[in-house]
Every structure is written in C-alpha cells, then in structure tokens.
Chains A and B, each alone.
Chain A
Amino acid sequence: MSHSVITVIGKDRVGIVYDVSKILAENQINILNISQQLMDDFFTMIILVDTAQCPKSRQEMLDVFAAESQKLALDIRMQNEEIFQAMHRI
C-alpha cells in the first residue's frame, strides 16, 4: 500500500475534476479521498490516492503530471503522504 497526495491548483474552469480523474483512471491510480474548493479565484483540489496498481514508476507518473500540467494549465503535484505527517504532526 502506497498512499500519495495529489494537489491540483489552477484557475477555475469547467472540467478540471474530469481532466485529472481521467489521468488517474488511465494509470490505475485509485482515489481514496477527494476534496476541492475555490480559494479566491483559484481552484484547489486535494486527492488522496493509492498507487499500488499503477504500472508506471513514480518518476514516469511525475513526468505525466508535468506534461498534463502544461497542457491543462494546472499545477498538478504528487507527494508521498509521509511528508505531510512528518511536517504537521508531532
């Protein structure tokens, strides 16, 4: 089991959730929890995922996200959950 947190930040428009979840589905990445909100004019989405079934390596997935970020004019990042635990929980 390998949990990661995907954050998506960008200017709000129709279809962001669709665009991002499509990438995840195509790569066998399972969504465990998803939340989204508008902060000022910015769309922010946080997705907790399980990447255990993903056939691509982490670096390959990061490359996919980087390319899609460009294409969709969004900032998509994936980070292992542990970093948030380390920083924000004693």
Chain B
Amino acid sequence: MSIQSNEILETVKMVADQNFDVRTITIGIDLHDCISSDINELNQNIYNKITTVGKDLVATAKHLSAKYGVPIVNQRISVTPIAQIAAATKAGSYVSIAQTLDKAAKAIGVSFIGGFSALVQKGMSPADEILIRSIPEAMKTTDIVCSSINIGSTRAGINMDAVKLAGETIKRTAEITPEGFGCAKIVVFCNAVEDNPFMAGAFHGSGEADAVINVGVSGPGVVKAALENSNAATLTEVAEVVKKTAFKITRVGELIGHEASKILNIPFGILDLSLAPTPAVGDSVARILEAMGLSVCGTHGTTAALALLNDAVKKGGMMASSAVGGLSGAFIPVSEDEGMIAAAEAGILTLDKLEAMTAVCSVGLDMIAVPGDTPAHTISGIIADEAAIGMINSKTTAVRIIPVTGKTVGESVEFGGLLGYAPIMPVKEGSCEVFVNRGGRIPAPVQSMKN
C-alpha cells in the first residue's frame, strides 16, 4: 500500500470532523418519450419512466456510502422542463403533472425532484405560461417538487414579461404556502445550465442523453479546516490551499459518480464541484471568507475574497475531473449557511452586498427571506437586477427569494432541515413598478467592447 498514514487520517478527519460529504447523486431523466395529448396518459407515462429509471438510485447511494465511508446526503431526480413535455396536452393547468412528479419521486425514495420548469428567456409559449401560472398551486399541493424559470440569457436578453410574471408567481406562492415555504422550491434563472444537480434549479436539458448521472460534491468545512491548519500567509498561498483541497474533494465525487454509473448502468454526466453549505456549524462558506481575514462576512473585501474562493475551487476541480459541469463554484444561500445567517442578523450582510457578491459567485441571491408585504413588482425588480448581472457577465445567476407572509424585518423564519432559517432582510424603499410593468425584452448585450 503506497498511501501514507497521514493521508488516510486526513481523509478520515474530513468526514468525521469537517462535514465532508457528497451532496447529491442526481439522475437526469429525459421525458420527451412520455409525451401524449391525453394528460392522464402523459402522467402515467411520466410516473412509469421515473420509477423505472430511478428505482435503484437510493439503494446504490447507500451501498456506495457504506463502501467508501463518505456520506451521500441526497438522491434526486431532474427531468426535462415540464412545459416542453406538457405542451401537447391542451390542458389549462399542469398541477396534476407536478403531483405525478411528487408521487413518483416519493415512490423511489428520493429527497427532491426538479424540472417543473419553463425556459422563456426569449419568448413564452402558451405551454410556458400555463406552467408558470400553475407553479403556486403546484408548490402548495406537492412536497418535494422543485420549479425553475429561465427568464434571460446573454444571447437572448431578458424577457421582462416573464420577469413580471415570475415576481407575481413568487408572491402568490408565498401567500398560499405556510411561511412562504413554497418559494424555497422556486428558482428564477438567467443563463440556466442544463446539467445542474443542485436543487431547486435542477432540470434535465434538451441537449442531454436519455438518462444521465450527475454528482454534486460539497465541503465548505474541509476548505475552512485546510485554511486554518495551513500556514498560508499571502492570498496567493490561500488560493493554492483552496485549489489543492478542491482537487481532493472533487476526486471523491468523481470516484462515486463513476461507480454509481457502473452499478446503475446509466452514463456519467458531470461532476458539479460546488461548495454548498449547510446550516450545521463548520459547514459554512461565509466562515471560509472570514478565515481569509474578514471579521464578518459582508464587510468590505468580501466580494474579493469570494472571487478568489470561487476561482480556486474551479481550478482545483478542473484538474480532478474531466467532466466538470453544472454550476461549479461557491454557493451563498443565506438561510442554509450558519455564517451567512449570523452576518445577516448582525445587519452587515445586506441585500446590496449579496447582489455584489453574486457577480463573482456560483449562482446568485439564494434563500433570502424578505418582508411579506414586499410587492410583486419589487420582487420582479430584484430578479431583473440579478438577471442583468448574469446576462452582462455571461454567467449563471439566479434568485430564490421568500417573501414571508405576515413577517417583517427583525423577525426570522424557520424552514428546517437543509433549508435552515433566515432573518427577514429589508428591501429598498421606492418603486420599480413602472419599469417592471413596461414588459418587453431587455436586448441581448454586445459581446465585444467588454467593460
């Protein structure tokens, strides 16, 4: 055996003390072959396909977790955006499809199913609009279905009609689900990627194979511990430590992805090498930034620290796997990150700073609770701002925001489990109502003359 004992102990420590885990094994399933003009038949086809393709996923994850001694926290399914599948039915609501997804996902024991989605960056088909209008009821009557809307891209611009509708959809969902919880399962994207295994934004893109395995690894605690135990002094050295650590954790994901692929006989798609936090102490992206030398996440320097972190994670991960994809980088969901929660409670991490941070992070404004009386057009304005950052900078951005009905700044909301809890953050005074109501499309940006 050529492995040194200190290397073995390092690995054991990562799992035992530093919350290292494989966050998810997700099977992406194409549903195009389920299409039928009869919605009942469509539902039956969808149920059959998901429960057939995904039936061994949970058992396989358990087996691999035992074999390698690394927790595999979630098993999930992502499917073709349902608006594309349901268009032939002429149904006026797609809620029954969401319920089918819920039932199928529960039957095979996965924790989430994503893909109750519409891609409307350039225009909305009638099916897309029916889907978006079905979201509030779908979120209310299902437990583990996740929904996403792609409202913009660098090539298409931003579909402001869709942005307006998305704001109203989020507001409506908040009103009819307890504590706005339904909104935790809705993501509004700009430049959505088609192979992302992370909820709530996972869906199976149309350029993908019939079924594919995507793996998401995570390890904020490991990176923080590596930084604290290193004698890195300069930021160049800090970047080097992050890079090496990202390499190691990505290799585990790669190993488990390939093994799962072999056992399930489904091709290995991508490895998403993101640092995804959890509410557990010691598993926080904010605490990594603070370990670099910030007294609290959200103070000046945070955006720079996050840029360094995000880039170093990508560099380490790229070397570790030939199939890097998804969102890959650092996530900054407020309610799911113990350090972010603390910084927001202290009033130092604000919506403004978060927006700036999203210009350099992996996704965007994530799991942010705002007052319940926030108007729909303000939510649309927040979505438009975030989409603009993604569109201009050719990167993925997203908004997952929860207007918590009946609550206001100074209170907090508890979602439980991996979704954590969040202080209600203030939104800006002033109105963007006229701007949002104009509708139309913000044209795609010029790609030369970058500035």
Which positions in A face B, CB cutoff 8 Å? 3, 5, 7, 9, 32-33, 35, 37, 44, 46, 48, 58-59, 62, 75, 77-89
Would you give the shortest CB distance from B451 to chain A, in whole angstroms?
40
> B12 near A: Cβ within 8 Å?
yes
Interface residues of B in 169-205 (CB under 8 A from A): none
List 3 tightest A-B contacts by C-beta distance, closest first: A79-B69, A86-B255, A88-B7
Please state if B1 and A88 are interface contacts (CB–CB under 8 Å).
no
Min CB distance A20 to B, Å, is 15
B5 contacts A37, CB within 8 Å? yes
Residue contact A89 to B2, C-beta cutoff 8 Å = yes
Considering only residues 62-76 of chain B, those with a C-beta below 8 Å from chain A are 62-63, 66-70
Taking Cβ atoms with an 8 Å cutoff, the residues of B that contact A are 1-5, 7-9, 11-12, 15-16, 62-63, 66-70, 248, 251-252, 254-255
How far is B16's CA from A84's CA once the two chains are assembled, in angstroms?
15
Closest to B251 in A: A86
> Once the chains bind, are A48 and B255 in contact (CB under 8 Å)?
no
How far is B255's CA from A82's CA once the two chains are assembled, in angstroms?
A: 8
- Once A7-B8, A35-B5, A46-B8 are accepted as A-B contacts, the answer to whether A58 and B66 lie under 8 Å apart by CB is yes
The binding surface of chain B is classed by DSSP as helix
Q: Is the CB of B11 within 8 A of A75?
A: no
Other A-B pairs beyond A58-B66, A88-B3, 9, CB < 8 Å: A7-B12, A37-B5, A46-B5, A46-B9, A48-B1, A77-B16, A78-B69, A79-B69, A86-B255
Q: Is the CB of A77 within 8 A of B69?
A: yes
Chain A min CB distance to B106 (Å) = 24
Within 8 Å CB of B68, what residues of A? 79-80, 82-83
Q: Which of A7, A80, A82, A83 is in CB contact (< 8 Å) with B9?
A: A7
How many whole Å from A61's CB to the nearest CB in chain B? 9
Residues of chain A within 8 A of B251, CB atoms compared: 86-87
Also in contact, A84 and B11, with CB within 8 A (given A78-B69, A79-B68): yes
State A37–B8 Cα separation when bound (angstroms). Answer: 13
Indicate if the CB atoms of B11 and A33 lie closer than 8 Å.
no
> Known: A62-B66, A79-B69. Is A87-B248 also a contact (CB below 8 A)?
yes
